[in-house]
Amino acid sequence: MAAPSADRPVRITIGTVWNLQIQPQPRRLPRLSVAAVIIGAVLLVTRITFGAVYFRDCPQQPNIPIYLLGLALVSLLSVLFVTLPCESEAAPSRRHPKGLKACLMFLMSVFILIWILLGDVWVFSIYQPNYDPSAVDGLYCNRTLYTFAFWNAILETFSLGVELAKFCKGMLVYVVLSPIPANTNLHGHV
């Protein structure tokens, strides 16, 4: 028996009671992923540019350019860890990373979380800084650098919140849909 065509619906008959018809999903171009890659690349290059060009232009909080460069480095390392081939070619491909790759991805995620929170502290601690470079005390921050870092911090914090909400939703679904063993009472005792 030949495999069904991917373009036509598949009809499954189970006994005489159930008759299912499965419609294949229409093929579509990966526009969202291409757009996400382009936006990510532009953001990466812009973060490196702002961090390098304005490296000494924020004496009021000198960690802001480092924060932008760190975000760019995190993006580059994330691409490396996602595409890192840690499994051997002879072994069948696994859906979830195992061993060293999983450990590295976990450590990278913890580092990203800490870096975003540190960046929030650095950027928001001097909200509405002195933009005048001729200030008497010498403490100022370049307006372009600070505005870019401010909106980056908001974007990254919002993204972190979305990921946290998705994690909570997944945990809730896991708890709700987990089967309850039949031989236990309400408190889990047999």
What's the rounded mean pLDDT across residues 19-42?
A: 72
Query: Chain-wide mean pLDDT for the chain?
Result: 81
Q: Which own/partner pairs from 162-167 qualify as long-range (CB within 8 Å, at least 24 positions apart)? A: none
**Residue 100: pLDDT over 50:** yes
Is the separation of the CB atoms in 115 and 130 below 8 Å?
A: no
pLDDT of 81 above 80: no
Answer with the residue of higher pLDDT: 17 or 69: 69
Residue 71 lies in a domain: yes
For 146, list phi and psi in degrees, rounded to 5.
-65, -40
Does residue 89 form part of some domain? Answer: no
Q: How far apart are CA 75 and CA 177, in angstroms?
A: 35
Residue 72, in any domain of the structure? yes
Q: Is residue 57 part of a domain?
A: yes
Q: What is the pLDDT of residue 102?
A: 78
> Does residue 153 sit within a domain?
yes
Among residues 77, 114, 82, which one has the least CA distance to residue 101?
Answer: 82
- Res 116: pLDDT: 94
Separation of alpha carbons 12 and 21, rounded Å: 6
Q: Is residue 63 part of a domain?
A: yes
pLDDT at 111: 92
Tell me whether residue 12 is in a domain. no
pLDDT higher than 80, residue 108: yes
pTM: 0.71
Is residue 23, in this structure, part of any structural domain at all? no
User: Using one digit for the tens of pLDDT, what is the confidence trace for 133-186?
Assistant: 998 888 999 999 999 999 999 999 999 999 999 999 989 988 888 776 666 666
Confidence of residue 90 (pLDDT cuts 50, 70, 90): very low
Q: What is the rounded CA–CA span in Å between residue 68 and residue 116?
A: 10
Q: Is the pLDDT at 99 greater than 90, yes or no?
A: no
For residue 123, the enclosing domain spans 32-84+97-177
The count of domains in the chain is 1
Q: Is the pLDDT of residue 95 over 70?
A: no
CB neighbour burial string for 151-173, b if at least 16 within 10 angstroms, e if fewer: ebbeebbeeeeeeeeeeeeeeee
What is the per-residue pLDDT across 35-74, written as a single tens digit (0 to 9) for each?
888 898 999 999 999 999 999 999 999 999 999 999 999 9
pLDDT greater at residue 146 or residue 95: 146
**Distances from the Cα of 62 to the Cα of 11, 34, 67, 141, 143, angstroms:** 65, 35, 9, 9, 14
